[in-house]
Structure 1
């Protein structure tokens, strides 16, 4: 459903409030995948409306496309989803942005976070090359682990695959021949296909580590 094909300012027939109410009523949903956006159901612009998926108390697995992980609305919504254990973020924005301590919610329930992108897309947003890596979204997820040791992690990237730190993964989506320049569409199709066959939540990919990010940019 292309929710961004009709923006709030163009919704003269008030279709979006109906869609928002319908999605908000899905109280018993446990898994949800939005392939082409972040489940964009705002009815006015600008808005302070909460993310609709934050109204689903039984939500365990969530996949979103191109969400801003540093936005306060996203972080507030995550805080509300106390049963959420697996989060798949495809080509997210805001990975490099610092988040204040007061804005970042405790997320002890999250067991697995997967970032889906092409290999080149991953290398454009390196985590450990930034001096402020601990204050960005992925850095905060990592350092909030009760077993986290900055010295050990920076010295031994393999630790990312052990214990409580084994929750952050990158998934590289291959670009088929002839699809260069269509990275967004290829990633969306990859997520859709794996969501349909049920494998999206089980695939881990590669643990996010310094070794991975030391690969030179092409």
Structure 2
């Protein structure tokens, strides 16, 4: 009969997989789309959680991937749990990437019926203060329109605004379903206007005839891709006229190329005014496209629910910026390049 020492010796002699190979095995658990934010219920997330308990090597890799790809907070309970875990590590295991170092986040901690939840608002502010130095990509789904400023007796809107104001390094912001209106008596500027590194932006229900909308878009120096989902009063505005006349003609910020995408169902997206576009923008620095979201097979969903679902999917997959749209307006003729 084989003794315990013999069995241990046999195990010790068995070849071990190199750490690099184990890394590839763990990484293969995730979808091939490297930009996708993965929900907690996804099989990949569950598998990564299991791999954190297999060995020290898999713990390090799986923990890092969970922080990079699976930060999906869809309840106040998950939000509070995450804050509690900020400084906690598993005993006797190597330290891994801190939760403060996350770069991408999906955040929907409020119930759909009301924003009036002071503890959750405080937790959101605390989370943003913790991750503000590294967070680059944020997808939020919050019922901003459910709390009237006159009824905000607990200062929920101010608390949230203080958190959003910290995100000065954000490059990509997607706000689902409702416009992120967080103005307070002493601060009326939209929070997304405060992020100088912002490059890609998705907004719902934006008033397209607002002077401040196009002022903010024009003055954010790095903003190059804007998706306006279910825009309001679009038929009353000339987009290029508004955008190109907010700053002096020779302002360097108007020299960048920018894409504006209008997204809604075919029934709700109005005809866009294209008057004098070639005169206003002879070099074609701004591209305007429209995307019609198809209705569901059964036709029992509201237009708002349909568009929100489409944008949520594209934002979480990271593919919304690559969706092809129908070009609006005649493309101006480009000058031939100068000969050398």
Other-structure match for 2:312: 192
Mapped pair 1:127 → 2:267: no
Classify the secondary structure of the residue corresponding to 2:217. Answer: helix
Distance in structure 2 (CA, Å) of the matches to 1:108 and 1:91? 28
Conserved? CA contact 2:257–2:286, under 8 Å: no
Normalised by the length of structure 1, the TM-score is: 0.73
Distance in structure 2 (CA, Å) of the matches to 1:183 and 1:72? 26
Distance in structure 1 (CA, Å) of the matches to 2:271 and 2:279? 16
Mapped pair 1:18 → 2:18: no
Aligned counterpart in structure 1 of residue 322 of structure 2, from 202, 205, 208: 202
Which structure has the larger Rg? 2
Other-structure match for 1:214: none
Conserved? CA contact 1:112–1:167, under 8 Å: yes
Classify the secondary structure of the residue corresponding to 2:235. Answer: coil
5+ residue gaps, structure 1, are 148-163, 211-218
Deviation at 1:76, TM superposition (A): 2.3
Q: Kindly tell me: are residues 118 and 80 of structure 1, through their superposed partners in 2, closer, same or farther at Cα, counting changes over 3 Å?
A: same
Aligned counterpart in structure 2 of residue 177 of structure 1, from 273, 297, 306: 297
Q: Kindly tell me: are residues 168 and 43 of structure 1, through their superposed partners in 2, closer, same or farther at Cα, counting changes over 3 Å?
A: same
Q: Deviations over 1:95-148 (max 9, x none)?
A: 2224677994254434211111111222xx1125xxxx42xxxx76x653233x
Other-structure match for 1:116: 263
Classify the secondary structure of the residue corresponding to 1:179. Answer: coil
Alignment of 1:79-94 (within 5 A): 79-94=218-233
Q: Deviations over 1:134-186 (max 9, x none)?
A: 2xxxx76x653233xxxxxxxxxxxxxxxx37711111111112234601110
5+ residue gaps, structure 2, are 1-141, 248-253, 331-340
Normalised by the length of structure 2, the TM-score is: 0.48
Mapped pair 1:76 → 2:215: yes
Distance in structure 1 (CA, Å) of the matches to 2:285 and 2:198? 23
Distance in structure 2 (CA, Å) of the matches to 1:143 and 1:90? 27
Mapped pair 1:144 → 2:280: yes
Other-structure match for 2:182: 41
Q: Provide the aligned C-alpha RMSD in A.
A: 2.6
Q: Deviations over 1:177-203 (max 9, x none)?
A: 223460111001111110000011111
